[in-house]
Amino acid sequence: MSGHAVPDTPLGPLNFRPLLRRAIWGGTNLATQLDKPSGHLDDCSESWEIVDLEDHQSVVEGGPVDGWTLKRLVAERGSELLGRHAPLESFPLLIKFLDATDRLSLQVHPDDASAARHHPGYRGKTEAWYILSSRPGSRLWVGLHPGTTPEQLATALETGDIDSCVDSFEVRAGQSVVVPAGTIHAIGEGIVLAEIQQPSDLTYRLHDWDRVGADGQPRQLDLQRGLEAVNHSTPPIVPSTPSDAQTPCDSQCLVDRSEFQVDLRRVQGRDEWTLDDRCRILTVVQGEGTLEVDGTDCELPIGRTVILPAAVEQAALTSQHGLAVLDSHLP
């Protein structure tokens, strides 16, 4: 029955097949830490869990809409899927895991206005990171030193003196960082993270640490558009660390922006949940548990991402030994 669904079959929790990406900075941690089907790759850089882009589509795995693309779900079952936010032309968020075995390039994503100037029909990209693991000393480069001018940044990129202009800090598991569109950034080596972002793949590479690609040549930079996209007025960015859970079932807001919101839900035992007519994406970042909806159980091992459609009114998260889930949604 793949690709066909009974019209009045209600949508329950939706699982999707991950889309694996390769890059020179990838490794094997997505297989070893998150059980992604990438064990045959030594350069797996990303696992796209939820995506609705022109050239990349999540596909449902299992259930009455097995084989449906996310784009088709939005088009044909949009009201059930998106609730208060329907109708939309495409799914509003992209969720991925990244394995930075090596350092990523220094880059910037445009905001909506900058994207529209250079790529009509595309949108900008604000993103947020949740650190799953990091080696001692692993760093993120995020944002500019206060007062950095465009000329100073251009000179630093030319000379390679990145730390003279770009802020950096060490991170550890459990911390989160919000990276607004227009913020210069790089993910350092030794970090595995979950990323929640606006659905855009526009990236302007500004500096690549004197590295060469698989062909032995330096990877292409996009300095003109990248420098134009950098927002020099973004306030300093620092990592956020959730406070200790006060109860066995605890929820804390990690991200509260106009583009999206992310809550960290921690469960030891059973957490019953009354939903509010909006689609939620649940991403397991620690432990394991079960999602219960209408008498049906959906297993939640670490690394699993599930869409909970807006039409679901009641749900429960259960875990015997502890579960931490990112709950991503629109405001």
Residues labelled as active-site residues: 205
How many of the other CB atoms lie within 10 Å of CB of 162?
18
Cβ atoms of residues 245 and 284 within 8 Å: no
Torsion (CA) 102, 285, 57, 99 in degrees, nearest 10: 10
Token reading at 319: 């875990």
Helix ranges (H only) for 160-283 are 223-229
Secondary structure (DSSP) of 243-277: PPPSSSEEEEEEEE-SS-EEEEEEEEEEEEEE--S
Q: How far apart are CA 260 and CA 233, in angstroms?
A: 21
Residue closest to 301 by CA, chosen among 287, 280, 316: 287
Token reading at 300: 């939640």
Residue closest to 303 by CA, chosen among 70, 5, 35, 11: 35
How many of the other CB atoms lie within 10 Å of CB of 247?
10
Secondary structure (DSSP) of 263-319: EEEEEEEEEEEE--SB-EEEEEEEE-EEEEETTEEEEE-TT-EEEE-TT--EEEEEE
Q: How far apart are CA 257 and CA 195, in angstroms?
A: 15
Beta-sheet strands, E only, within 16-138 = 19-27, 44-50, 52-53, 56-57, 94-100, 106-108, 127-134
Token reading at 80: 């059930």
How many of the other CB atoms lie within 10 Å of CB of 198?
20
Residue closest to 298 by CA, chosen among 71, 69, 22, 14: 14
Q: How far apart are CA 115 and CA 205, in angstroms?
A: 15
